[in-house]
Amino acid sequence: MLAPAAWVGATVVHRIARLDIARGLSGLVPAWAAKFACVFLGVGLAVSLRAIANLVAPGVAPYAFIYPAALLATLLGGWQAGYLAWVFVVHGGARDSGGQMRYQLAAAVITALTAALLVAVGEGFRAAAHRVAEERKQKLAERELMFHELQHRVGNDFAIVGSLLDMQRRRSQNPETRSALEQAISRIRSISRIHRQIYALPEANNVDLRQYLRELCAGLTDATLPPAGIEMRCTCQEAYMGRDPALALGLATNELVTNAVKHAFPEGREGWISVDFIRAQDGWRLVVADNGVGKPIDQRQAGLGTGLIAQFVRQAGGTITVSYENGTHAAIDLPGAVASALPS
């Protein structure tokens, strides 16, 4: 983490780099027009300051405001703009001096040399700011590449772990062990699928929940639903969320849907499972419901799946309530700050 002074310095450098009018207008207007726009701003600053000074001390130090004019024009448009601003201000100062110009020749020479040095320093600082900004951009690109490579390796690790568990499942003769390993493999594959989906998104803070949940439901339909008999429904209002809470919300949805597939429709019973993400009064609500058999009271004790769902909901910043009337109805309530109706 940068120290406060270094952070302030870096922020100033990047803001100066972004204020380069000549570079920002490149391709939109001719280069000379952009340069003259910077000259106009620099000279305008000098004229404004000169007018204010004349109200207090008319005619005093006619070249005093060459420095801010030349520096501003240089930072905005380069040394050419700074030089032209210097010329305009010098001529203006000479005109304001009138008959006393011959007595101020030495002052004019000193002022000109100082302004030239200021232009050179400003141009050097401007070039350095752009160089720092480009280096930062390159480092961010390298970091993003490394991040995607890491996610690819994590996905491969999920596949390896799943394969090892599947190998152990096939070797096991204990039905309970095989069932536990099958559940573990299913969860690992689900997490791997969601992991690939969420980290393939371009913006970490602008995950499109509508697209994300639709793709998640489509993946669950292909991976967990039987060929016929159970219908998957998914509706979602437009909303955007950060990557981490979206991942946690997706994992909770995956666990709820998987539980419904396993327990709500025994013996080939037909029905439907719905996933709805809607705007609530105080925030957002994700509802996963089915019209299955529900769950008897004596089977509602907390298990591994229930604990995982609760953990995922906490990671997303929400709370969950579950009811078992006419099937199972799980509602996850999220505060308004977790998601936004518009991308940030």
- The position carrying tokens 């010329």 is 87
Boundaries of every domain in the chain? 4-138, 204-340
Ramachandran category for residue 186: left, alpha or beta (phi over 0 → left; psi -120 to 50 → alpha): alpha
pLDDT attached to residue 110:
60
Q: Using 50, 70 and 90 to split pLDDT, how confident is the model at 289? A: very high
The CATH number assigned to the domain with range 204-340 reads 3.30.565.10
Which pLDDT score, from 0 to 100, does residue 266 have? Answer: 83
Region of 27 (left: φ > 0; alpha: ψ -120 to 50; beta: rest) is left
* 142/78 Cα distance (integer angstroms): 30
User: What pLDDT score does 13 carry?
Assistant: 46
Contact 146, 138 (CB under 8 A): no
Three-state helix/strand/coil letters over 10-75: HHHHHHHHHCCHHHHCECCECHHHHHHHHHHHHHHHHHHHHHHHHHHCCCCCCCCCHHHHHHHHHH
- What's the confidence (pLDDT) of residue 288? 94
Residue 31 has pLDDT above 80, yes or no: no
pLDDT of residue 264 exceeding 80? yes
237, 185, 187, 186: which is closest to 212 by C-alpha?
237
d(Cα 80, Cα 22) in Å, to the nearest integer? 11
Specify the pLDDT at position 130.
74
Instruction: Place 332 in a pLDDT band, splitting at 50, 70 and 90.
Output: very high
324 pLDDT band (50/70/90 cuts)? confident
Q: Are 233 and 273 in contact (CB under 8 A)?
A: yes
Q: Which amino acid is at 74?
A: T
Cα 72 to Cα 125: distance, rounded to the nearest angstrom: 12
| pLDDT tier, 8 (very low <50, low <70, confident <90, very high otherwise) | very low
Dist CA 3 CA 133 (whole Å) = 19
Give the mean model confidence (pLDDT) for residues 17-32.
61
Question: In 3D, which of 267, 326, 333, 328 has the Cα closest to residue 300?
Answer: 328
Predicted confidence (pLDDT) per residue in 81-136, tens digit: 766 776 666 666 555 554 444 445 555 666 666 667 667 767 777 777 778 778 88
Please give the pLDDT value at position 299: 56
Q: Tell me which of 95-99, 181-185, 215-219 is least confident.
A: 95-99
Torsion angle (degrees, nearest 10) of CA 295, 298, 303, 307 = 70
At 334 the pLDDT is: 93
**Least confident segment among 80-89, 304-313, 331-340:** 80-89
Residue type, 42: G
> What's the confidence (pLDDT) of residue 25?
60
Pairing status of strand 328-335 against strand 271-279: unpaired
Given a contact cutoff of 8 angstroms between Cβ atoms, the answer to whether 209 and 277 are in contact is yes
Tokens standing for residue 127: 């070039």
Per-residue tokens: 49: 């300051």
Strand spans (E) along the chain: 207-208, 230-236, 240-241, 271-279, 283-290, 319-323, 328-335, 339-340
Cα distances from 76 to residues 24, 25, 31, 70, 90, in angstroms, run 10, 11, 13, 10, 20
Query: Structure tokens of 158?
Result: 């999920």
> d(Cα 7, Cα 103) in Å, to the nearest integer?
48
Please tell me the predicted confidence (pLDDT) of residue 344: 66
Q: E strand or H helix at 337, and its extent?
A: none
Q: What integer pLDDT is reported at residue 100 of this predicted model?
A: 46
pLDDT at 331 over 70: yes
